[in-house]
Structure 1
């Protein structure tokens, strides 16, 4: 009987996906907090960390190349290590409290707290390389992919490409503003759709190149960050704040604008990524809300000489968390600590 029990356990561990109404579904083991010493599986992100979010219960969710991690204030749980070895880009908690994870080459994963569903091109997703995820005001989930924008209504996908007016199929970001307009950032420009017609955003007749992030601030201004630097747009006037490549923009609770950008200082990076601006060191800067009207006022440099900096997030305790090539770091306004180890790094 013991032999049969062992075989049964082995078979269970090998089952990763089972068919469920056209999507892949996998039950998550109840106890998924794995001891690193016992199993050799990272319990906290140590690899490229692209995105950090805090859910409505206060848990921190981290999308990294070594898995999706949840931090409850005490310990980390590697949510995906028994389900997939995919590298993750982004995480989203939808209005129902369920989670979506985007990956590099494995599509998107839906997690209801108990089981997973994996959506890929076989289910209608535009591309299995998915960067960002967005939920609009109607509860529709949007995915930014390398082959267009994918819209999921809970039943099926609809994809939007250059045939629909996008300037490029390589989509980096999707956002809906307060007026209901959709902003789609691509490598070749920003597409704005008002529900009837679409236009490509230009400045002096020139479209923006490789915009990576678009946000709408508390006052309704649109911020663009990418190859052409950091811009603010109020619907009529453009203001440029920096010419450096900007990878991420974040507005904190106070109204300050945080950005990650690369600098002119060259730094030899130890990773297997393509160059793509990775040969320069990166910085985190903060633009004080009281000085945003004057683009001549320089921002406060918060962190310099970092290999790369990805997602930025303000936690409930007002600390700033940001992703790097080696996991997550925390800034409390004075010092930086390694978030996973809670140890001061400088």
Structure 2
């Protein structure tokens, strides 16, 4: 494959080479499954180890499991019209976009991807609160620091920097915990057997004087000078607390489920309940406005509090959904708002434009799963529900991991237009070409379907349309892609449709298109009919009234029939979609089973066996327990194949596999087929002596098993077993090498025996 510089790239089992000017350079020694040069000139390589590599400006970049890629590369690489790269693995299809969003999902050290809170302390450590506890990311290494191994998990709902460089941690049912810098030691603020020790905590803030403000489901508690103060703010309602903020002016802001409050520097407490003047129910976050005032994230959208009171921005102004959880700012003049419908980016200047009446809606860019977020559901009700890192990145916790935004690319010009097509036109149920609509009969029914062609943000496309001479203005269609007109006036009509790729205004639509068609003039508008009607108006008044009533009834019956027909079509379509979905789920289950099991014996295959061994080693590391590994080989299997045939040999392998499964049923044991006549046995949490006893029973059972080959009732087979117990932090390869050596020794000693190594 040739790149933009004229160099030829070669990929294969022995690695990746670049040939140019008569000179060939080997750039990678690992096997490559696929190769692609994109429109920017970057070279993409599908590696075998759940990764895709990008070579750009002389450097390699890697997207792997830490970015959500799972499975082995299949070699499928494709760049589409929009510049999106599609990458296939044994576990599915991945889309790589040039957007600013990436995901951090479940991985070693991060056992849960249901993330509730995140922050960064002064030493660069990132603290991540999730459903299973607390993890830290420091110098590229992720590890869990709370709770301790063997302890039941506890969801972490709140984080706050501690003065000593560590972090304060609020939990679902264990009160407040302090974790020192580096992740250890860990100590509880109040023992669990005391009343506050099992409190649910969703907000924390440490003041410079050492006071720790604690937000619980029953109000605010303070820890000061080693003592717990149950009512540090007299007059504050005992409502669930969701956020704290200490302003530069010394004001302490408190977000509540049921209003908000703040304490002035002189100690005066102000409480505002829902209604007047506070125009929301709850407060989830506070962000100071450099121009003065405070931004407040609420269940009624975004509020701005200033000297003149509150200004509210919600769905009517273009903010998707009604709840905002977190407000963050970048260096380019934008606010980033997390919600349960995605993350929104809004220029600060757009709020002022709306306030001045220059526009009705904010210029909103919405980011969802289409842009790379692990989930569009950003988590809230915990604190902080997002953090701006020292390098400017914005980390937002979601229901499926952390969405990491790099705001810098977002200030670039908008991407190219989204192609918009009118793909179907029906007149009275008859399909017509949009390019040649023909004449529409008077009173006819016209149905028009349109679509924006984009895989980058398909869920964010919105439409509006108008039919000149019929619609007085643009009609907002949202995500609907179909419109129907009836009883159109005669003459030439022009239908226009526009598509936009954000929730903002229509000042910059992504694309527009139009069609024109002619409608026949109704007979009753012909000149001779008008003259005749004028002459006979008095005599035909009663008949005309009766005739019009009959026409209306007939038209109503036709419309009812059309509605019934469309309803039946929709029902059948829904049934077909549901059936297709069930077939797809069944196919996925079948493919998943086939990918992890041996078709001859029904046992887990080599790949599944390796995963079972890796899991046993990980469990042993956590519990400091033993692990044993055995390799089992059928003795003189070649003799069986030569004497009875390969089909008989396959039946023997299946019988041996079935007997091994029946004999090795203890918890923690896994039997897999390595290949040929060899099997792998993983004995988790099992000592060597116990493993010998278990395997000896299996060996005897196989030796006593009649094979029934071609009427030879005496035919039987035996197995040899090499068994080892893990030593120290020994890895998979070393364990298997020792087990294979022990198996070889069992063969050398005469077969039909167990040899330990």
Same fold (TM over 0.5): yes
Whether the 8 Å CA contact 2:258–2:274 is kept in 1: the answer is no
Partner residue, 2:202: 89
* Other-structure match for 2:243: 132
Instruction: Work out whether residues 212 and 222 of structure 2, in 8 Å CA contact, stay in contact via their aligned partners in 1.
Output: yes
> Counterparts in 2 of 1:285-296, with a 5 A limit?
285-293=403-411
Asked if structure 1 preserves the Cα contact closer than 8 Å seen for 2:330 and 2:407, the reply is no
Considering fraction of residues, name the structure with more strand: 1
User: Deviations 1:216-273 (Å, cap 9, x if unpaired)?
Assistant: 33444211111232011222143222272212322111001111223xxxxxxxxxxx
Correspondence for 2:280: 168
2:325 corresponding residue in structure 1: 212
Which SS does the other structure have where 2:386 is aligned? strand
Structure-2 change in CA distance of 1:181 and 1:228 (3 Å): farther
Is 1:246–2:373 an aligned residue pair? no
- When the two chains are superposed, the root-mean-square deviation of aligned CA atoms in Å is 3.0
Distance in 2, matches of 1:45 and 1:179, equals 47
How far does residue 127 in structure 1 lie from its aligned partner after superposition? 3.9
Matches within 5 A, 1:90-105: 90-105=203-218
Larger radius of gyration: 2
- Provide the rounded CA distance (Å) in 1 between the counterparts of 2:256 and 2:305: 18
Q: CA deviation at 1:206?
A: 4.8
Partner of 1:75: 185
Q: Which runs of 5+ in 1 are unaligned?
A: 1-41, 263-281, 299-336
Q: How many residues align?
A: 239
Which structure has greater helix proportion?
Answer: 2
SS at match of 2:291: coil
Match of 1:62 among 169, 177, 180: 169
Residue pairs, 1:128-277, within 5 angstroms: 128-153=239-264, 155-202=267-314, 205-206=317-318, 208-235=321-348, 236=350, 237-242=363-368, 244-247=376-379, 248-262=385-399
- Against the structure 1 CA distance between its residues 62 and 289, is the aligned structure 2 distance closer, same or farther, given a 3 Å change threshold? same
Give me the TM-score of the superposition, normalised by structure 1: 0.61
Q: How high is the TM-score relative to the length of structure 2?
A: 0.29
Distance change in 2, residues 1:60/1:189 (3 Å): same
Q: Is the 8 A contact 1:126 1:149 kept in 2?
A: no
Change (3 A) 1:108 1:62: same
Q: Which residue of 2 aligns with 1:36?
A: none
Please state how far the C-alpha of 1:140 moved relative to its aligned partner.
1.5
Contact 1:120-1:128 within 8 A present in 2 as well: no
Among 39, 52, 58, which residue is 2:159 paired with? 52
Q: Which residue matches 1:38?
A: none
- Name the residue aligned to 1:309: none
Where does structure 2 lack aligned partners over 5 or more consecutive residues? 1-146, 351-362, 370-375, 380-384, 416-455, 458-617, 625-757
- What secondary structure sits across from 1:164 in the alignment? coil
Which deviations, in whole Å up to 9, do the C-alpha atoms of 1:118-164 show, x marking residues without a partner?
2389x322342111111112112111111100112363421123333
Contact 1:120 1:127 in 2 (8 A): no
Q: Give the whole-Å Cα distance in 2 for the aligned partners of 1:203 and 1:210.
A: 10
User: Helix, strand or coil: the match of 1:155?
Assistant: coil
2-side partners of 1:128 and 1:206: how far apart? Answer: 31
